[in-house]
Amino acid sequence: MENAIEIVDFESPELDVYARLSEGQLLNRHEPEKGLFVAETPYVILKALAGGCEPVSVLAERGVSKKGAAEVAAACGADVPAYVSDLDVLKKITGFNLTRGMLCAMRRPRPRSLDDVLHNARRVVVLERVMNPTNLGAVFRSAAALGMDAVLLTPGCTDPLYRRSSRVSMGAVFQIPWAHLGGGDWIEELKARGYRTAAMALADDSLPVDAPELREVDRLAVVLGTEGDGLRDETVAACDYTVKIPMFHNVDSLNVAAASAVVFWELRPR
């Protein structure tokens, strides 16, 4: 990278975002306007920049792909500092190998309103307490790829901008609109906006995911639950439909990320 700054002082405060601040500290709940996140891999960094995120600095392994480095440098602009060093040095700073040799610290985008995210959205994903960053990232990737229009997160979900979440999503968290739901009755709020709600849960009265009546719903919110426990009983009871993926060979369920891909494909808007 041109105009790169060689790392010589590991205690430099400019490196705190990569080396010493936790994901929770980066989020900065007390002063959200000062919140940061870190994107990793040139591909995800470029998706974040294309999505309007503002870069603060770049940390790269010396010799990182010239094409990726050049694209990131051009997208960030000359005013964004780029720090470089050898991989062995960077391992000491970040605690693990850099994925494809590059990290980028960025300012957190302003949260989007529910009205903004749901504007013209026909298929909405609701995640209830999905806490694993890998699963959440995979759900976002499937949602973007398979025709969903927006993702809504209940309290207790992990942050889509966590490094692992955004990397596993392959940048989809910067492509598909998403918003946090409050702690109130979000099911009734969705119904008031014209959505029918479909809870993914195993029950005797569940509809199969390929039921024709589900495809015909104009505005549908698909509700997926946390790993292991699934959706809360009260959530299932409040939804318009209870839906399941038919299983074989005595398998009773799929991981939420795998299940989401099946559901999104079957229920995509026609």
Residues 6+ apart with CB under 8 A from 47: 170, 171, 172, 174, 175
Report pLDDT for 16: 86
The CATH number fitting domain 5-107, selected from 3.40.50.300, 3.40.50.620, 3.30.1330.30, 3.30.413.10: 3.30.1330.30
For 56-83, the three-class secondary structure string (H helix, E strand, C coil) is: EEEEEECCCCHHHHHHHHHHHCCCCCEE
Q: Which fold has domain 114-267?
A: Alpha/beta knot (3.40.1280)
**What is the predicted pLDDT for the residue at 201?**
93
pLDDT of residue 96: 52
Provide the residue ranges of all domains of the chain, joining segments of one domain with +: 5-107, 114-267
pLDDT of residue 197: 98
What is the block-wise mean pLDDT of the chain (270 residues), using blocks of 10 residues? 74 82 84 88 95 94 77 92 81 62 92 95 97 97 97 96 95 97 91 97 90 95 90 95 93 91 93
Q: What is the pLDDT of residue 125?
A: 98
Task: Give the model's pLDDT for residue 60.
Answer: 87
Does the predicted model carry a pTM greater than 0.85?
yes
